[in-house]
Amino acid sequence: MPKQDNEPTNEDLAGTEPPAPLLKIGVSRAVWTVAWPMALIGLCRSCYYLCDSYWIGKLGTTHLAALGGSAFAWWMMFITCNIPGYGVNALVARHEGAARRDQIAPAIVQGLWVGLVVYLGLVGLAYPLRELYFSLLGFAPGSEERLLGSEYIGIGLIGSLALAAHAVTLAAFRGIGDTRTALWITAISLLLNAGLDPVMIWGWFGCPAMGIAGAAWATTAANATAALLGTLILARKGYILIPRWPVFKSFRLIGRIGLPIAAEGVGFSLVYVLLGQFITDFGSEQMAALGVGHRLESLAYMVCVGFQVGASTMVGQYLGAGDPKGAARAANQAVLLCAGIVLPTSIALYLFAPQLFALFTDDPVTAAAGVHYLRIQALVAVFMGIEVVFQGGFTGSGDTMPPLLIGVSLTAARIPLAWLLAWPLGMGISGVWWAIALSTLLKGLVFWLWFRRGRWVNALSAADLQIDAERS
């Protein structure tokens, strides 16, 4: 994007405060400083779902299959609630890098307004479509799995305002680079979720037994607590979230950054919904195996998310400081650091898959199906890391259309490829699992090549940030 004569530069936007602390240290150290707490946060989030799976699995295979089928809807809800978070992360990182810290709190407040709009949209649109979702997934009308899954997702949607608020406050900490505080908040919420799960599922200590719905209520309570803690700690750090009216231009900017990433995530889940019809053809135990397998696979995925945030934060801060070469180095270092951790993690998942599945089910058929799935996906976990981390680089720059185009097109390719491998080529359920793995490998390669083009540098102009600063 060519610079106009009257367009403010990064130097024009910079404040008089000292530069961001992370910009004073080496690129690798800065990425690691941001990433390792976020990797632990990701593992904590995986433990949310693993904890739910552990307690719900004790209710029986039917409940576990319902939870597995709900996983895609839950992910779509999670990614949609993160729309304001993606935008706030990018804006806060830019303001921090340019030392315009007076604009950070207004950006967070606008993000919370966007979160409220997202919540109203989820309740108004997604809640009535729960039955359609389970129909697309291939669950029989009136089946117990369908009824239980619908109940679980319904409660999650009702409580999604807490999830959206948590996403925004967490994004604020990411943007300023204070991921250690974000880690402590997430750890507290995880402990709360773990403590509430058996109480609300089984009805301990006089609480009514709510079954699978209790797990959703426990997660909502944990997210609400985390959002409140985040708001209080931000205030203590000087970012007081003073109520102010929503600003349309800020909404548009946050949406411009967050919507493509969310659309890619929703498209990813919808592909799995359609794949679900293939999967259930091979038995309900395959869907249960996929649900638990996803949660175990998320142990590697969430490590990748930690370095995704490292890339996103440092790309945003370096661009805010007017150093695009530093931004590129940050993204590349994040990929290398991520691969160094994901590789041994994926090896552990491959080797110990039987023992891990034994924690969640005593059904040998379900366990065997899950081990088969997990071992195939472990082979391409490093390429998943490449995809996820470079997605963070695009997000930090504000250039979120490439992840949408690459992610949706190659994820959608899983459907015809799964059909081809499973039936015409006679691979059965293995064909579905290999279709997922091969597309993961290809996405990693394409993300790497596209990021090298460097067009993300000019995705957000200084004028975009000036509008945000004046109007917020």
Domain ranges of the chain: 23-471
Tokens linked to 213: 């719905």
How far apart are the C-alpha atoms of 359 and 367, rounded to whole Å? 10
Q: Please state at what angle helix 104-121 crosses helix 83-97, rounded to 10 degrees.
A: 170
pLDDT score of 6: 42
Per residue, what are the HEC states of 349-390? HHHCHHHHHHCCCCCHHHHHHHHHHHHHHHCCHHHHHHHHHH
pLDDT score of 465: 63
Give the count of beta carbons closer than 10 Å to the beta carbon of residue 269.
Answer: 20
pLDDT score of 10: 39
- Check: CB of residue 14 under 8 Å from CB of residue 99: yes
Nearest to 183 by CA among 52, 47, 311, 83: 47
- Check: CB of residue 321 under 8 Å from CB of residue 26: no
User: What is the pTM for the complete model shown?
Assistant: 0.80
6's CB contacts (< 8 A; 6+ apart) are none
The residue assigned the tokens 């400083």 is 33
String of b and e for 207-221 (b: at least 16 CB within 10 Å)?
eeebbbbbbbbbbbb
How far apart are the C-alpha atoms of 285 and 202, rounded to whole Å? 24
Helix (H) or strand (E) holding 44: helix 27-57
How far apart are the C-alpha atoms of 390 and 104, rounded to whole Å? 25
Query: Angle 150-228-153 (CA atoms, 0-180°, nearest 5)?
Result: 5
pLDDT score of 467: 42
How far apart are the C-alpha atoms of 113 and 294, rounded to whole Å? 32
How far apart are the C-alpha atoms of 283 and 281, rounded to whole Å? 6
pLDDT score of 12: 42
DSSP secondary structure of 210-277:
-THHHHHHHHHHHHHHHHHHHHHHHHHTT---------HHHHHHHHHHHHHHHHHHHHHHHHHHHHHH
Tokens linked to 96: 């921090």
How far apart are the C-alpha atoms of 44 and 186, rounded to whole Å? 7
Query: How does pLDDT run along the chain (472 residues), one tens digit per residue?
Result: 334 444 344 334 344 455 568 888 889 999 999 998 988 887 777 777 778 888 887 888 788 888 878 888 888 899 899 999 999 999 999 999 988 888 899 999 999 999 999 999 999 999 998 888 888 877 888 888 888 989 999 999 999 999 999 999 999 999 999 989 988 998 899 899 889 989 998 888 778 888 888 989 999 999 999 999 999 999 999 999 988 888 888 889 999 999 999 999 888 878 887 888 889 889 878 988 887 888 788 888 888 988 998 999 999 999 999 999 999 999 999 999 999 999 999 999 999 999 999 988 888 999 999 999 999 999 999 999 999 999 999 999 999 999 999 999 999 999 999 999 999 999 999 999 999 999 999 999 999 999 999 999 988 766 566 544 444 4
- What are the residue ranges of helices labelled H in 413-471? 414-422, 429-451, 462-471
Tokens linked to 170: 């967490």
pLDDT score of 8: 40
Query: Angle 252-257-258 (CA atoms, 0-180°, nearest 5)?
Result: 95
Nearest to 45 by CA among 216, 250, 177, 223: 223
How far apart are the C-alpha atoms of 23 and 35, rounded to whole Å? 15
pLDDT score of 67: 84
How far apart are the C-alpha atoms of 140 and 154, rounded to whole Å? 18
